[in-house]
Structures are given as structure tokens and as C-alpha cells.
Chain A
Amino acid sequence: MLFEPVTGALSEPLTGRHWDAGEIRRKIAARGAHLDGQGLAKGDRVFIHYGNSLEFFVDLMAVWMQGGCAVPIDARLTAFEIETLAKAARPAVALINDATDTSILAVLEAVGAKRVKLEDAPATDPGLRSGRIHLDDPALILFTSGTTGDPKGVVHTHRSLRARWTSLRDSLGKDVYRRTLCMLPTHFGHGLICNALFPWLSGNDLFILPPFRPDFVANLGTLVDTHEITAMSSVPTVWNLALRMARPPQKGTLQRIHCGSAPLTKAMWEQVSDWAGGARVLNTYGITETGSWVAGPVGDDIEPEDGLVGRPFGAVIKITRQTEDETAEPELCATGEAGMIWLNTPALMAGYFERDDLTAKAVRDGWFMTGDIGMFDERGVLYLRGRERDEINKGGMKVYPSDVDGVAIQCPGIADACAFAVEDRLYGQDVGLAVVMEGASLDDLKAFLGAKLAKHQMPVRYFVTDDIPRTSRGKINRDHVAKACLELAT
């Protein structure tokens, strides 16, 4: 069969619920039958407006078995943001649950998505419907930016996802992941493709926690011991909290900790190693467009260092000199010379959803331009040295400044706005916003933004200014605005 999920068990430590592999298989068939009864056609896009639960994983498989393309949605987004995504993706079906807010239901109805609460239906085809799937069909769309306008959806096919999982199994093995903890959100690449689906679809057991629950992070050592967790992934923010509050695990089951989505310092890397008492810590580099994890510190010759990434997993990396001429063939950097990081991998996305213009900018001759700056040392080990991308990395959650100021300038009484990163002790970065007021108050602006932005996108610092300078081509230099605002504020 082309696609027959061989899964491990699923457990929710919070509720105590547990489905074994046999039950999961039955449920995929039964919930797939329900989906089939709702008229889902091959290629239809399906919003899944919940995550980090047993049902999420089973329903994702059910969508795939029915030939659909899953679009996991961050349940924290506002109705305005979901409407923006829904208008772009035009889902035929939206899977909802009891927690889905009425404002979201109204938005989904308005865009013509059939709202379905999946239940077990008698399966007429216990062999599942894997014949509907073609390897090059779109399997997954993950929206990485543009929730307030101009959405950018990364489209992965079944082929690109399988390429990622195969390369991870080759590079990292699978047995060490036999009891994997997932505490990252399942609507973004790192959490879904690598932390959760890679081990689970390798036949390993997955323990699922709700994302962003600081009390679980503070109880991490106990959770690891209670459920005999062998592997987990994380972001540095998790460790900012856990190292302050969570007692280390004592049973010695934990063998591997991945940490990604934001820079991991040498100091934190070593502290996590100490906390974990012997588990291998892998500072893992990944990008949603390449199926997330694409490199990490494998090999006995690697010790923690600031900026060290390691060696590629199922990818070829090249580093080139920056050039003003986008049509020119970029020159390769020498060893030790920093430049632009490009990736070539069979796990590369099919493209950005209905945005060939963006795809053409990001992918050239099969090479994906990451927007990151890095270098190789003489061992061929990759180091990150910076970032060209215009994003705020809030503890691994990416906030795109244009999503924030694009909304702010729609607020009546606001003449101009510019969002940028401000330093934060917990998250590393958070959202700052410079605004030019024209009659509105800050309270007006906060109320306006609160109705349209998800909480993690809300600015935590505001800077009222007379003017936001632009270049001669009308572009904002966010770094300059940030520097000016922060200097004035101190």
C-alpha cells in the first residue's frame, strides 16, 4: 500500500487518556468514514482547528487516508486571523471541536467551509483508503506568516514529508524515540513534523501535552520520570523556565533532548545537559520549508559552542557570498567565511500555497535560500552567525513584524507604525511597536490590536514617535527604528 500508517500509541499525560496502536488504526478508519460521508474529495483542504490531542493525530491520518490536504490551525488565532487564512486557503472542510469559539464558527461558515465535528462512524473499508493518495499530492499546509494579510502557506507533499522522516531515521535512529514527549504546538513544523510525527510514524509511542503550559514545564522532571520519557524536543524558552523551576529527572530514562527554533547558547546547552543527567542534547536547526530539522550536532567530535549547528540530515548545504545582483550565480564561501545558507533536500516543500512569486524568490534551481547567515569550519560543521529574515523570534514562535504593523496602521487615529524585536529575558525576543499617533490613544490601539492579533503577536512595548523614517524606496529599516526608539527610551 502506498500509505499505511504504522504508528505507536498515543497518550495524554494531562487527562490520562491512552489509545494503543490497534485502537488508533480502528479510529482512523472510523473517523475517515465519517469524513468520507461528509463528501470530502481528493485534494480538498481541511482546516484542523485543534491540536496537541489524541484526536488531532488520528484526524490528521484520517484526512490523509481520504486524500485530503491537512491545514493545522493555531487555535489561539483570532477570528480575524482565521478569516484571513481561510480566505486564502479556501478549505472545503473545517474540523472543529467543542472548544471552537462561536466567532470562529461564524467565520468558517462565511467562507463556505463545511464545519465537521468528527466522530467514529462504522468503517465500510477497514483497509483504509490509502489508494486515494499519491506521493506528490499536497499533504500539509503550514502557515508561517501573514495571518493578518498576505498569508504564506508552506505546502508539503507526502513525498517531501517521507523524505524528512527517512532522513531523520537514517541520521538519528528511531529506537531512542520509543517514548517521545511532545510539548510543542502541532500547528508548526518543528512540533508536528519532527517532534511528533517522526517518532510516532516510526512506530514509537507519543505523549502529548497542551502547548504553552508553563506549569507542565515547571513539572518537567516529574513528567519525564512518570512516563519514562526517552526523548523530547523543546525551544530555549522551555529551558529558561525548566532550569529555574523543574527538578531534574531521576530515573535515567531520558536519552535525547532536541532544542530548536531559536538559538541555544553554549551556557544553556551545558545546563540542559547537566539537568538531563546524561541525555544527549541536540541543538537542532530546521526550517518549516525543509520539513524542519535539517542539521544537528551528530558526531563524537562536537562539544557545545555558541552558534554551532552541526552536520546535515538528508540535505546538502552550501554557503555563498552575498550579492546585490539576484540573477548572478552566487560565489561559494571559503571555509570559515560567513555567508548565506542554502539547502538542497528531497524534503523541500512543493512551494508556497498559490504564491509562485514567493516560491521563485526562495527556491533557485532546487536550492532553498534560508535567510540565515552561517559558515563551515574545517570539519564541515555548520555554525549560524545571524539572520537576514525579517522576523521576531519569540522563544521559537515566529512573529512577523509586518503582520503586526500591518494591523496597527488600520487602527483609526494611527498614522504610521513599525514593529520590531525587543529583548526579553524569557523569550529572547518579544514584540515592540513604534507608532505615530493621529488622534487615537494607546488604549484605543491596544484594544484594536487585541481584537485582531493573537496574544503572542501583541506588542509588549510601545514607543510613540513623531515620524517613522523610510528609505528612498519607501521601505522601513526596522533595525534603525528599533535602535532609535530604544535609545530614546533609555
Chain B
Amino acid sequence: MSGAASVIAFLETTSAQFPAPIAADTVIIESGLLDSQALFQLSLWIEDQIGAPLSLESLDIAADWNTPEAVARFIARARGQL
């Protein structure tokens, strides 16, 4: 499963309600699609994926997590894979 596909698979297990199937480029943050609970769950999941707490000094979720694709890139970068 690609990075973006695993992000999508995870998002579908959260409390967020998506009016249509989400794609790799679906805007999930600025559109307000993710509610507080889903965003909270996503943050925990990302920490699990990168194996470390989020670094608040550099985190900008509107830029870094705005789409499943962006979240996958964020995780890969944090793992040192980019």
C-alpha cells in the first residue's frame, strides 16, 4: 500500500464523515473535513508511524497535513526517507 493509500485507509477508520470517497489530493484540513476527534486520532497515528512525538516548532498542519498525499510526505520526511 502506498503512503497516501495507508493514510486514506486510516482516515476511514476515524470519526470523520466524508461526503465522498477521499483521494490522495482531497483537502482534509482547510476544508474542515476532519473534526477535532479525527485530527486528534490522526496526530496519534502519525506519531506511531514516525515513532516520535510531533515537533511543534516546525509543524504547520495546514501545509503539512492538508491532503493524504501531504501527510504521507510528512511521515516519509520525518522517517528520513525523503
Contacts and interface: CB of A to CB of B under 8 A. Distances in A.
Contacts of A427: 36-37
Given A241-B39, A241-B40, A426-B40, A246 B30 contact: no
B28 to A, nearest CB: 10
Interface residues of A, number: 23
A212 B35 contact: yes
A215 interface: yes
B15 to A, nearest CB: 7
Interface string A166-201: 000000000000000000000000000000000000
A370 interface: no
A215 B61 CA distance: 7
Contact of B56 (A237, A248, A460): A248
Contacts of A247: 56-57, 59
Nearest to A216: B62
Interface residues of B, number: 19
A245 B43 contact: yes
Contacts of A460: 15
Nearest to B36: A214
B70 to A, nearest CB: 13
B10 to A, nearest CB: 16
A310 B43 CA distance: 34
A243 to B, nearest CB: 9
Contacts of B43: 241, 244-245
A217 interface: yes
Interface string A89-128: 0000000000000000000000000000000000000000
A15 to B, nearest CB: 14
B29 interface: yes
A401 to B, nearest CB: 19
Nearest to B17: A455
B40 A213 contact: no
Contacts of B32: 213, 215
Contact of B35 (A214, A218, A240, A425): A214
Interface string A197-228: 00000000000000011110111010000000
B23 interface: no
Given A215-B32, A241-B43, A244-B43, 14 more contacts: A213-B32, A214-B34, A214-B36, A215-B30, A215-B39, A218-B62, A219-B60, A237-B36, A241-B36, A247-B59, A248-B56, A424-B37, A426-B40, A427-B36
B38 to A, nearest CB: 8
B62 A219 contact: yes
B54 interface: yes
Given A214-B35, A215-B32, A245 B62 contact: no
Interface in B1-48: 15, 17, 29-30, 32, 34-37, 39-40, 43
Contacts of B60: 219
A248 B40 CA distance: 18
Contacts of A217: 36
B30 to A, nearest CB: 7
Contact of B61 (A218, A248, A395, A424): A218
The 5 closest A-B pairs by CB, nearest first: A214-B39, A426-B40, A214-B36, A247-B56, A218-B61
Contacts of A219: 60-62
A351 B69 CA distance: 53
Interface in A394-442: 395, 424-427
A247 B56 CA distance: 5
Contacts of A455: 17, 35
B57 A245 contact: no
Residue from the set B37, B39, B59, B62 with the largest chain A CB neighbour count within 10 Å: B37
Contact of B54 (A215, A240, A245, A426): A245
A247 B40 CA distance: 16
Contacts of B34: 214-215
Residue from the set A217, A240, A426, A455 with the largest chain B CB neighbour count within 10 Å: A426
17 contacts: A212-B36, A214-B36, A214-B40, A215-B34, A219-B62, A237-B36, A240-B40, A241-B39, A241-B40, A244-B54, A245-B39, A245-B54, A245-B59, A247-B56, A247-B59, A248-B56, A455-B35
Contact of B37 (A245, A248, A426): A426
Interface string A226-257: 00000000000100110011111000000000
